[in-house]
Amino acid sequence: MAFIHKTTSSTQTPPSLHFNAIHEIENPPAVLGFGPDPDAFREHATGNPAYLAGSWMQHPVNCDMETPVRSSDKAGMKFAARDIRLFLISNEDDAVADRQDFVVKTLGNCRVVSPLEPLLAARKRSIHNVDETDRVLYDDIASAAIARELPTAELPGFEPAGPRKRIFFDPSKTRAGIVTCGGLCPGFNDVIRALVMELHFRYGVKKVFGFRNGYQGFIARHGHPVMELAPDLVSGINEDGGTILGTSRGQQDPAEIVDCLEQLGINMLFVIGGDGTLRGALGISQEIAARGLKIAIVGVPKTIDNDIMYIDQSFGFQTAFSMASEAIRAGHSEAISSPNGVGLIKVMGRHSGFIACYAALAKSDANFVLIPEVPFHLHGPCGLLAAIQDRVQRRGHAVIVAAEGAGQTLLDETPKSTDASGNAKLGDIGLFLKQKISDHFATQGLELNLKYIDPSYLIRSVPANPFDSVYCLRLAHNAVHAAMCGRTEMVVGRWHGRFVHVPIPLAIRERNQVDPNGDLWMSVLEATGQPSLFQPDQAREVAVPGDN
């Protein structure tokens, strides 16, 4: 938990203080509490739902009051301030306020001259590059930075990615390893290729090993041979989907993995994978530290759902929603070609609906987009089924895009099992909706021509598109730069358009999701014309004018 502090103290009673002392806070808190200690205040809030969820920020000021009051009671109230702090506790999403959260671990001082030093020496400072001594600020709007009430030099920020003039490892004595884990994603092979090429040609690291089938490749009992990766072997792999190293789900014993790294003399390991993979990488890094070894663990985050935090976008995501948009195009063509046609498309997105949102915006043919972040009801005059019926009767067709994790609370059976990574197996929302829509139209005595499309495996197994290919290469280059400089227990990413180093504990702290109050979801509502919520008993919302 992170706090923002502004401690004030006075031995004399200052003049009376209006509540406008806290008006600088953009979103007023749900509860105001008073006292010398935030923990003591929390005791007053027992049973308050606002306290039981989310992260908190604390803004203390002086005020004379000994019992908590609701923020709705604050209007017109005036208090005589004493040496008592007012704690404003809010459930804002931003739990990152401590600069220590952004500190990247290093293996030691960099004393070796980098092979890239001549390139760096010739480069001039520009707004298009960030010096290694600078930081990429976490906050990108003025009000957020101002609310922290910190000097500029103390604002939280990420360490910039990129090459350094001095590096930690001697390239002539360095061995690197690469592993790919989790589900397939466009760009796996692009990252592998770029890592090998950068290590070999730019840094002169000639020994690069690939570990087969995810973390299983380190474990002796699985018997997977190690691949030696050379430029000739990887030169054309970016033309193909999948990963030449293979992949698997599930964790392995970090001690056995580190045993393997020691036996092979590996100095740096590049881990390409998602949330579960990065948790495994954290365990490996901790085992390495416990043994006092100098092995760098650097991640390249892979998540087709784009659900890793503190990264603008994960590689493969653009390819994924581009392919998903073609499924929407097909669903729209089917829908408009039949009387009362409905195209129902299920896309990937277990907990985050980014693919559904972006694919729907790319084609603008979707009329309803259903995502895990926004619950919905089926029945009632303002439920989803009534809205679909109304759309079909007015316009003759409808197109529905559903993320795989949407509407899970509506399914009859809750997930009772997990996959090898520990993820709960979801119910099939696509088939569920297909049946419910069909039953509803039959009950209403209406003709229905519904076509159901599930392009999931087509989406994840294709080669990366040109944008993702470039992005993969740049991520890989920055991963190599980080590892050669002895950075460890981190991933490379891009924040506000700048490539940065993100500590793994920060990257896996919470999940990146579509914000129902954010600009992206607003764009979806504008493009589809759907109501913001599907509720059984609310007053019907008017569709956005000009719904397609």
Per-10-residue mean pLDDT of the chain, 548 residues long, equals 33 32 35 38 37 32 36 35 34 55 95 96 89 91 90 92 97 98 94 98 97 96 95 96 93 95 98 94 97 97 91 92 95 97 96 96 94 94 95 97 94 64 80 97 97 91 95 98 98 95 94 94 96 71 52
Residue 198, classified by CB atoms within 10 Å of its CB into exposed (0-12), middle (13-18) or buried (19+), is: buried
Q: Phi/psi at 445 (nearest 5 deg)?
A: 70, 30
C-alpha 167/C-alpha 360 separation (Å) is 45
Displacement of CA 53 from its chain's centroid (Å): 20
**Dihedrals phi, psi of 89, to nearest 5 degrees:** -110, 125
Phi, psi of 448 (to 5 degrees): -145, 130
Q: How far apart are CA 41 and CA 73, in angstroms?
A: 18
Residues 6+ apart with CB under 8 A from 66: 34, 35, 84
Structural contact between residues 514 and 523, judged by C-beta atoms closer than 8 angstroms? no
CA pair distance 118, 101, nearest whole angstrom: 33
pLDDT tens column, 372-388: 999 999 999 989 999 99
Q: CA-to-CA distance for 545 and 368, rounded, in angstroms? A: 15
Cα separation of the two ends of the chain = 45
* 41 within 8 A of 84, measured Cβ to Cβ: no
What is the 8-class DSSP label of residue 51?
G
Strand order in the sheet with 69-70: 57-62, 85-90, 31-34, 69-70
166-315+464-507 and 318-461+515-528 have identical folds:
yes
Give me the pLDDT at residue 537, please. 64
pLDDT recorded at residue 418: 67
pLDDT of residue 533: 84
Residue 89: the pLDDT is: 34
Triad 366, 371, 375: Cα angle to 5°: 120
> Do 355 and 403 touch, CB atoms closer than 8 A?
yes
Please give the model's pTM, rounded to 2 decimal places.
Answer: 0.80
CATH of 166-315+464-507, one of 3.40.50.450, 3.30.450.30, 1.10.540.10, 3.40.50.261: 3.40.50.450
At 382-407, the pLDDT tens digits run: 899 999 999 999 999 999 999 999 99
* Cα gap 502→519, rounded to integer Å: 25
Alpha carbon 227 to its chain centroid, in Å, reads 31
Residue 511 is given by DSSP the state B
Q: The domain 318-461+515-528 belongs to what CATH superfamily?
A: Phosphofructokinase domain (3.40.50.460)
CA atoms of 265 and 196, how far apart (whole Å)? 17
pLDDT at 98 (0 to 100):
74
Q: What pLDDT score was predicted for residue 323?
A: 94
What are the catalytic residues?
305
Domain-wise residue ranges, the chain: 16-90, 166-315+464-507, 318-461+515-528
What's the pLDDT tens digit per position in 416-465? Answer: 566 665 667 789 999 999 999 999 999 999 999 999 999 988 888 899 99
8 Å CB contact between 389 and 444: yes
CB neighbours (10 Å) of residue 2? 16
Q: Is 70 left (phi over 0), alpha (psi -120 to 50) or beta?
A: beta
Q: Which residues of 216-226 are buried (b: 16+ CB within 10 A; e: fewer)?
A: bbbbeeeebee
Contact yes or no for 345/327 (Cβ under 8 A): yes
Asked whether 469 and 190 are in contact (CB, 8 A), the reply is yes
**Orientation angle between helical segments 275-291 and 254-264, nearest 10 degrees:** 60
CA–CA separation, 517 vs 522, rounded Å? 7
